[in-house]
Structure 1
């Protein structure tokens, strides 16, 4: 049922130069995997894993050329009892979220074509997410938000800001599971330089935070993907009303 609802909502999401739609064929999914590999590894190939078959894949394309410029995937979960099925559960101990009541969805493998710099792409992507969330009654959106590279020293102001302003509520706080982590909440004692922090914050994570999102107290060092990532959650009911209006204006 969720896939059919999402298909109805996303098939007709046209904004400006772009179209957001749900992948409908194996070729669509393969195109997303090719874009992911290019974006994550800088060369042709296919980025695929065992989660692809369980996920809904969203494609953002140029309307005139059909060129794929952005993609991401959703893993719908009935409630917190299914959190162990998520991609993030490989890296974070998420037992605190097992009691979460209400539909959840994991957003993953978000990427934009390396040659594309149009900020409207991100706006359309968030419009597609909003349309899906509204149509399916999702109450918690979560995922892993990544910093490029594995050197935490490049992002100390950003991590200091996450510690100061955006840590998860204690009742939902993910615990350490991965063998290689940067415990920024425990280690950092610096006051963040706000301008530096925001300039180093990944665009996807920055948008999460603007919606009232929260993060884990540590970052996972993922050398296979050459990233540092934090668990990130957004409780839909807590999104500021003005931000909801902006998102729904795009999704509408």
Structure 2
């Protein structure tokens, strides 16, 4: 759980004085980056269902399977970042904007008012939060992109939207659970060992799994790992995290519902490489072709 901060109300007041975050965060060619409103959250849940359950093999609960949406209690108080293809066409050839990418965002002060972060169900993050009590945390989760849009361009748009959001709320630390497909640690020994030996977080940012849930990430010795093959074995999202300087916790957690092994990812804004800050922090209204 997030420790109560006596300065939290003052922090909220300061943020309210800056004005609300605009719904539309940027446009790039035919794509728009925006924050979900109303029924758009359901559409984001449908995209997540398609990616996580129909493609990824996650096990849906009765209600989620019935409505074909990835429903999670955290959705009600999180912000949902969307990538929308404004030029998409329906089966009749008519233009009908389509949500093609999404990211779920949970700020520390919001989590504090609703029982904590999603990551706390798998990892003991209380020591991390206590060590950095004055910093503003943003949890990233439920990231996915429609199969037909999984390009570098769309992933970069998600990052641009994320960066605009983080700047608005003066976020200090990005973190969350990142997933590798599969539940057999031995089958994932190469990517897990690569992260353990080459991208482990420093002590002040270190996080471990909750008691009884952890699996080791060091099945392979450092000297036996081919770094190129280790990197290639990682999912695209984790590769993207690594490129901006992300580090990873000690130990992973098996998520049987989603059929994945999760690792804890932390990205202090101050440690993200400046070239990425300059790139993603540019004008969010510039053309995607620029």
Regarding TM over 0.5, the answer is yes
Match of 1:60 in 2: 83
Give the counterpart of 1:71 among 97, 102, 124. Answer: 102
User: SS at 1:24's partner residue?
Assistant: coil
Higher mean displacement: 198-207 or 52-61 = 198-207
Unaligned stretches of 5+ residues in structure 2: 1-11, 56-64, 89-96, 286-290
8 A Cα contact 1:161 1:194, kept in partner:
yes
User: SS at 1:184's partner residue?
Assistant: coil
Match of 2:288 in 1: none
Change (3 A) 1:128 1:98: same
Query: Does residue 1:48 correspond to 2:68, yes or no?
Result: no
User: SS at 1:144's partner residue?
Assistant: strand
Within-5 A mapping of 1:202-241: 202-241=235-274
Within-5 A mapping of 1:82-161: 85-99=116-130, 100=132, 101-161=134-194
**Bigger helix share:** 1
Aligned residues: 249
Q: CA deviation at 1:6?
A: 6.4
User: SS at 1:109's partner residue?
Assistant: strand
Greater gyration radius: 2
Within-5 A mapping of 1:8-27: 8=22, 11-25=24-38, 27=39
CA deviations on 1:5-44 (whole Å, 9 max, x unpaired) are 6641x5041113311100111x101001111111001177
Provide TM-score, normalisation by structure 2: 0.78
8 A Cα contact 2:183 2:261, kept in partner:
yes
Higher mean displacement: 135-144 or 57-66 = 57-66
